[in-house]
Amino acid sequence: MRAFVLVVACADAFSYTHHFEALPAPRGEPTTDERCMTVCYTDDARRVNRWLRDNAAGAAALGFDTETACAFPGRKPPAPGPHVLQLAAGDACLVAHLISGDVCASGALADVLSDPSVVKVGVGLDDDAVELYNIDSRMKLSGRLDIGGPRKGRRIALREVAYRAIGGPIAPKAKKIACSNWAMRRLQTTQLAYAARDAWLGAAVYGALAADPSFVDAAAAQIHGEMNIAELSAVAADRRVIKRKLKALDEDAEDYDARAREIRRELKKFPRPDPRLELDLA
């Protein structure tokens, strides 16, 4: 992993620039893709504005992802996430730290996120969108293109989608990094590479498929029918309440099965609204 760091300090705000391999090969296999990500890591709204001006202006699509610190038993729970927001335009990536600084004060970021004409590409975007909106109502993610497969089927991992769309081999995700502390004051370089790569993969998948008219039409149809973020957040809140009822049931009670069926019927009244795009990839 190669990295050089440019540090820009303003009061307590920070901004770093790193370079990482975009597609590292699995351990023991030769690297077949030499592309490199340029990653801006910051908690400064002004640096976010500059990155968006330099990289996202006129972009048809941006890779999108967020990271949230896990809550572990016996440990102090972190503040509500997401704690990190990632965008990618081509090989340029933004990793914005939300646990410190003033990133959510960026008007340019709010404008880009809420613009449905700028496609946001990733997996699990509804959940990311709701969490982001819940910590700051200015962050309204629109133009959501979830490429994780059909809603009723198993969600397809982003790396699996990327392998089908842009080739491989692609190194598997490191669970240790995925479950690491994303709420720490400064992320480690392994976390930065991990976070940036997921956004980069979303942008790369879109770039690989954008010349296919059927993909473009399917993407446009999904985005046209998406639920606005306030309604999506309300549905998610209703689902959480019902799921808590189900979790609170005593499994040893005689009427457990009947009550569980009743609660599941109630849950079906609040279906997860936005579909995931099922890509026809060999």
Tens-digit pLDDT profile for residues 131-153: 999 999 999 999 999 987 655 55
**pLDDT number for residue 54:** 97
pLDDT at 17: 94
Predicted TM-score of the model (pTM): 0.85
- Closest listed residue to residue 148, CA positions, set 11, 9, 277: 277
| Distance set, CA 152 to CA 87, 128, 148, 271, 275 (Å) | 27, 19, 11, 11, 9
Given this model, what pLDDT does residue 4 score? 46
Specify the pLDDT at position 155: 59
Cα dihedral: 182, 71, 240, 131 (round 10): -10
* Residue ranges in the chain whose pLDDT is less than 70: 1-11, 28, 149-156, 168-169, 271-282
pLDDT the model gives residue 71: 80
Q: Which two tokens stand for residue 199?
A: 């956004």
